[in-house]
Amino acid sequence: MGKDKLIPIFAMIVLLIGISSALYVHATQVNKDNITFNGEEYTIDEIFILSETITIDTDDGEKTGASLDDFVKKTSNKCASCSMYTIKAGDGYQKTIEYDILKTGIITKNRRVFFPNTAHALWVSDVIEIEVK
């Protein structure tokens, strides 16, 4: 008799935890149309106008997008190879990389970065900011 009452209570607790975590993720997600780089706002179209479009080979196939190396060189007044770069997503996910990795990467029209020969953990989706450190 005790187990019959506990199972629905545990099920309700699990559902409440799931609902509250989904609401938290939705509430903390940042929806932005622009991408901030080095304190300046750029639309994805501006990034493609400023940068060379290239195709790279990844273990997930060929990807085409704006060259991050070209974009950084054209928009930064700092030594590109002297800096670290933190790529931030709308959901709070972020990865910090060195210039040697960044210079091989691209950003696509749907605001996702790809790097050849790297772990997928570096492939940030829904990019909202690239911070220069």
- Domain, as residue range, for 2: 1-30
Tokens coding 3? 């187990």
pLDDT digit string, tens, across residues 95-124: 999 999 999 999 999 999 999 999 999 999
Q: Could you tell me if 80 and 127 lie in one domain?
A: yes
Q: 85 and 108: one domain? A: yes
Domains in the chain: how many in total? 2
Helices assigned H by DSSP within 29-77: 44-50, 68-75
Residue 69 C-alpha from the chain's centroid: 16
Closest CA to 63 of 101, 106, 103: 106
Residue 101's pLDDT is 96
**pLDDT score of 17 more than 80:** yes
Q: Which amino acid is at 33?
A: D
For tokens 């989706």, what's the residue?
A: 125
Are residue 41 and residue 25 in the same domain, yes or no?
no
- Residue 129 · residue 92 · CB < 8 Å: no
118 and 88 in one domain? yes
CATH number at residue 113: 3.90.420.10
Q: What average pLDDT does the segment 53-69 reach?
A: 96
Q: Are residues 76 and 92 in the same domain?
A: yes
